[in-house]
Amino acid sequence: MGLPDSRWVDVAALTTLFVALTLVFDRFERHKPAWRRVAKIALLVALLAVAIEGLGRAWGYTVLGLLLLSGVALHFTALSRLGISGWTGEPRDKFEALLQEIDAHGEAPTLIRHARDRKLGD
């Protein structure tokens, strides 16, 4: 027996999942304003609810799984290449330096630059 066929069950499940993930990985998001963190959860839940409604529950949750896997892979790969633990954010001084660089130059450009510099250094 699966979940009841209601979009509100999906919204509740997705919201619960994202709140739990936020609690687990809060140390990596503390530097962002609260409104941005809440907006990210609301936007992801809305987009996934639309995907579930339009594509069906199985495909919607497949999209969710792919997003989570790609995010986890990127998170752990990028941080480990910079010598930062993906679980704890330590050593804290390296993580704080990365956050300052992200604040100054933006998240995507900073991570792309680090990935490019790493490839050139290999």
> How much is the pLDDT for 66?
92
Is the pLDDT confidence value at 100 over 70? yes
Two tokens, residue 104: 């100054």
Contact 66, 98 (CB under 8 A): no
Judge whether residue 2 has pLDDT over 80.
Answer: no
Provide the 8-state DSSP code for 28: G
Residue located via tokens 């990210």: 40
Over residues 38-75, the pLDDT tens digits come to: 898 889 889 888 988 899 888 888 988 998 898 888 77
| Residue extents of the structural domains in the chain | 7-121
pLDDT of residue 118: 67
Contact (Cβ atoms closer than 8 angstroms) between residue 42 and residue 15: no
